[in-house]
Amino acid sequence: MKVFIGYDTREDIAYQVCKHSILARNKDVDVRPLKQQELRDAGWYTRPIDKLASTEFTFTRFLIPELTNFKGWALFMDSDMILTTDIAELFAQADDKYAVMCVQHDYKVTETTKMDGQKQTIYPRKNWSSVVLWNCGHPSNQKITVDMVNNPNYDGKFFHRFAWLKEEEIGSLPVDWNFLVGHYTADGTMDQEQKEDGTPRALHYTEGGPWFKNYRNCEFHQTWKDVLSDMMENKDE
């Protein structure tokens, strides 16, 4: 199982905790950070630096099919997340008829800025691409080459809306595989209230996580802090 996590130099701790939440439950996972500078140095990523981009991995996630030589399944996830279950459960849902599988959110963003002060971009299929189960060998994903990803004629909206795919090539995952903290309740509805009926499988602190001063006590803050504590206690293993 291959997992690529978006890496932002401003949020290294978020990446480390996300990675630990995966490996603590299944060590038979190949977890790799998508580091923009490393991809630039290797010639994989050549787009001009976009100062308006909300993260350093805004576009690099779309290199995954070619990074895997267009073979097998691979998962992409944002770094501001943690898993609360074995990630093998997600890979078990892979269906070869789809080019990608994701949680198909349908909600309206009300905030104008993100957690780090960046401008909030609003577009259809918002947050669909923050967790993507890639069928790297699917014929339609052959289009997502290094050249396309680096072509400035294709903007963020094109990629994040999966515009190169047909509607029927986008599979749906249950909402708790990309549970937007602060937007959803534990039963998958959009609400600010939290119901005590179970912890979602993948918590996404999309509005801000406990590693930010202003979000120390956000919903599910203790869940994230518990993973951090476990990581610190077992860092020498």
C-alpha to C-alpha distance for 38 and 6, rounded to whole angstroms: 13
For the stretch 197-226, pLDDT in tens is: 478 999 999 989 999 999 999 999 999 999
Calculate mean pLDDT across residues 70-97. 97
Q: Which residues contact 105 (CB under 8 A, 6 or more apart)?
A: 125, 126, 127, 128, 175, 178, 180
- Residue 203 β-bridge partners: 82, 179
Residue 113 has pLDDT above 90, yes or no: no
Beta bridge pairs of residue 134: 74, 100
Whether residue 138 is predicted with pLDDT greater than 90 in this model: the reply is: yes
53-69 core/surface letters (b: 16 or more CB in 10 A; e: else): bbbbbbbbbbbbbbbbe
pLDDT digits (tens, 9 = 90+) for 160-201: 999 999 999 999 999 889 999 988 876 656 554 443 447 899
Query: Which residue, 150, 136, 54, 56, is CA-closest to 101?
Result: 136
Q: DSSP secondary-structure letter at 79?
A: S
pLDDT the model gives residue 194: 41
- Domains detected in the chain: 2-233 (3.90.550.10)
